[in-house]
Amino acid sequence: MKKAFTILSLFLLGTTAWSQPLTLDKNKSNLEIAGTSSLHDWVSKVEEFQANADLNEGKITKVSFEAVVKSIKSGKSGMDGNTYKALNEKEYPKIIFKADQLDIKGNQLVGKGQLTIAGKTNEIPIDLTFSNASEVSVKGSIKLKMTDYGVTPPTAVFGTIKTGDEVTIQFNFTLKNT
């Protein structure tokens, strides 16, 4: 019995030793949402977001990401207000992404995760650039359609200016050991 306990303890310790908790370094990370409209292309910066994950041998697990909808800023208060209204910010104040596991394949991070926008969740494929030097770096872009999440693309000036349905989420995250 003592031998079995020792083997189990070594296994659990070994498993724990391979897992490194990671948190977002906000000073070295950025997140933007880009799109089009009938008037011009636009970019909004997301000012409040957080991410956590565990780095395990050959994979990233327990991936959790949240962005505060009210922190999406275009530099134009009218556009920001239309964004918050379209995303139903009062009922759904956060955009959330979760993945149980993403695989590291060379300099790529691949897998699937659950993205929730305005209360609707869809599974999305993940194929991002990954680096694990002194810090973990994840960057890339994800294209999605607002209507896939039940979001009606915002309009302005009595509907004469229309936002395109497709947006691109662009990011560069640096994660550090906690």
Domains and CATH numbers, the chain: 20-177 (2.40.128.110)
Is the distance from CB of 155 to CB of 85 less than 8 angstroms?
Answer: no
Q: Smallest Cα–Cα separation from 47: which of 62, 66, 61?
A: 66
pLDDT for the residue 156: 78
CA dihedral defined by 8, 13, 15, 16, rounded to 10 degrees? 140
Indicate the range of 14-28, 54-68, 92-106, 162-176 predicted with least confidence.
14-28
pLDDT in tens, 11-67: 443 444 468 999 999 999 999 999 998 888 999 999 999 999 999 888 999 999 999
* 3-class DSSP state of 75: coil
Asked if the model's pLDDT at residue 85 lies above 80, the reply is: yes
- 152 compared with 157, residue with greater pLDDT: 152
What one-character DSSP code corresponds to residue 83?
Answer: H
If you average pLDDT over residues 132-149, what whole number do you get?
A: 92
Residue that has been written with the tokens 């000073």 in this structure: 27
pLDDT for the residue 159: 73
Asked if the model's pLDDT at residue 176 lies above 80, the reply is: yes
d(CA 165, CA 2): 62
Length in residues, the chain: 178
Model confidence at 10, pLDDT cuts 50, 70, 90, reads: very low
- The alpha helices in 1-133, defined as continuous H runs, are 2-18, 77-86
pLDDT for the residue 139: 95
Is the distance from CB of 128 to CB of 138 less than 8 angstroms?
Answer: yes
Tokens, residue 155: 């309009």
pLDDT for the residue 94: 98
Q: Percent of the chain beyond pLDDT 90? A: 74
pLDDT for the residue 157: 76
Average confidence score pLDDT of the chain: 88
Q: Which residues partner with 110 through β-bridges? A: 103, 127
Asked if the model's pLDDT at residue 5 lies above 60, the reply is: no
